[in-house]
Amino acid sequence: MLINLDNEVHFKKVFTDVEVFKGFVKDVLGLDLEIDKVETEKSLSSQVGATNFKMDLFAEDTTNRTVVEIQKVDYDYTYRRFLHYFLGNLVDVQLNSGKLYKFNKDVYVIVVVTRAYQIAEKGGEPIKDDVLITDINPRTLEAEYRDMHDHKIVMLNTEFVNKSTPKAIRDWLDLIKESIHNPKSPNINLLNPAVARAAKIAENNNITPEEFYEANIQEMRKATLAINLEMGREEQREKTRQAEEKRKQAEGKRKQAEGKAKEAEGKAKEAQGKAKEAEVKAKEAEVKAKEAEGKAKEAEGKAKEAQGKAKEAQERVNQSILRALNRGKLTKAEIAEDFGVTLEYIEKIKR
């Protein structure tokens, strides 16, 4: 029966074995390491950030100037965290190289993830890859890589092993996954010598009471962390729900205000239309008033003209009466009768 390699204590017990470590690195990175020890909880020699982080498993091949770090994780923020570790290692190598910015060692980080990724692409697409590789080599505009450095992170995920996973890597992911889900009768490749050695070390009867105790403490810590994470997620979900509710309320108020604004705008346009209509009617009335005024003036002019003509006609009548008087052939009474006027009128014009 295998111990659970998802437990940090058990994982370190197996992978601190030099031959297991070397075999794992060979199958994942293709490197033949010359090492005689594997360190745990190693800190960087230089202060390269605000946090002085520790590496789970660390080995340095001084002959081939190679540093390999292995981390095993089962929680969400793996990529950001280990990219930070990776870059921190690179800066540490530069600071201790003795020459400005020189890399005098190759740095490799292998991360073993035992849960489905929570990280995603920028567009939100979930990541479901068995192997992810990050390096620091530049590329051209034609996507041609320039092989300048060997530094890299290799992330392995036991949840996404598939038919295309390289067999050498799949052997190790199967070992870890079987130890979690099928420890009593694991289906693993014992023809791989390093995997067989790891499985032998991982046998339940090879674990000391002290190691069992530490492993149980670790499991309790994981359970507590899981509870705290779930509580945090639940709290975040509640905050998200409240924020969504507030957003919906704000959206409702915005739409209500927008509706009132449109209603007010409609009334304003209606009032504006009525004002324009009244203005048009006022202009029409003004035009009609001007037309009436013009007609009144025209009538007044005609009246004056008629009055002038009447005066002219009267004057001609008066002149005719005066001529008749001057001729003396007719009496005043006869002249008054002929012209249809009174004697008084004749007397008046005579004066």
What pLDDT, in 10s, does the model give residues 110-126? 999 888 887 788 888 88
116 in the same domain as 185: yes
Residue 322 shares a structural domain with residue 193? no
Q: Does any domain span residue 284?
A: no
Reported pTM: 0.62
Q: What is the pLDDT of residues 303-331, one digit of tens each?
A: 888 888 888 888 888 888 888 888 888 88
For residues 173-202, give the mean pLDDT. 94
CA-to-CA dists, residue 43 to 78, 99, 103, 135, 334, angstroms = 18, 22, 19, 22, 154
Residue 287 lies in a domain: no
Beta-sheet pairing, 54-61 with 39-43: antiparallel
Q: Are residues 320 and 190 in the same domain?
A: no
Residue 8 pLDDT grade (very low, low, confident, very high; cuts 50, 70, 90)? confident
Q: By residue range, what is the domain housing residue 319?
A: 311-351
Rounded mean pLDDT of 220-234? 65
Domain check: are 154 and 247 in the same one? no
Kindly state the tokens that stand for 273.
């239309």
pLDDT of residue 347: 81
Helix or strand holding residue 110 (H, E): strand 106-113
325 assigned to some structural domain: yes
Kindly tell me the sign of the dihedral angle through the C-alpha atoms of 96, 99, 100, 105: negative
Tally Cβ neighbours within 10 Å of residue 308.
10
In a domain, residue 101? The reply is yes
What is the mean pLDDT of the segment spanning 197-226?
78
Report pLDDT for 338.
80
Residues 171 and 195 in one domain: yes
Report the alpha-carbon distance of residue 27 to residue 38 in Å, rounded. Answer: 17
Structural domain includes residue 273: no
List Cα–Cα distances, 350 to 68, 311, 331, in angstroms: 149, 17, 13
Same domain, 65 and 179: yes
Pair 169, 246 in one domain:
no
Query: Residue 190: enclosing H or E segment and its boundaries?
Result: none
- Claim to verify: residue 225 and residue 198 sit in the same structural domain: no
Does some domain include residue 40? yes
Do residue 51 and residue 20 come from a single domain?
A: yes
Number of domains making up the chain: 3
Q: What is the average per-residue pLDDT within 249-253?
A: 88
pLDDT value for 47? 58
- State the chain's mean pLDDT as an integer: 85
Same domain, 323 and 185: no
Q: Say whether both 180 and 103 belong to one domain.
A: yes
Q: How far is CA 68 from the centre of its chain?
A: 38
Residue 81 maps to a domain: yes
* Same domain flag for 46 and 185: yes
Residue 286 is assigned to a structural domain of this protein:
no
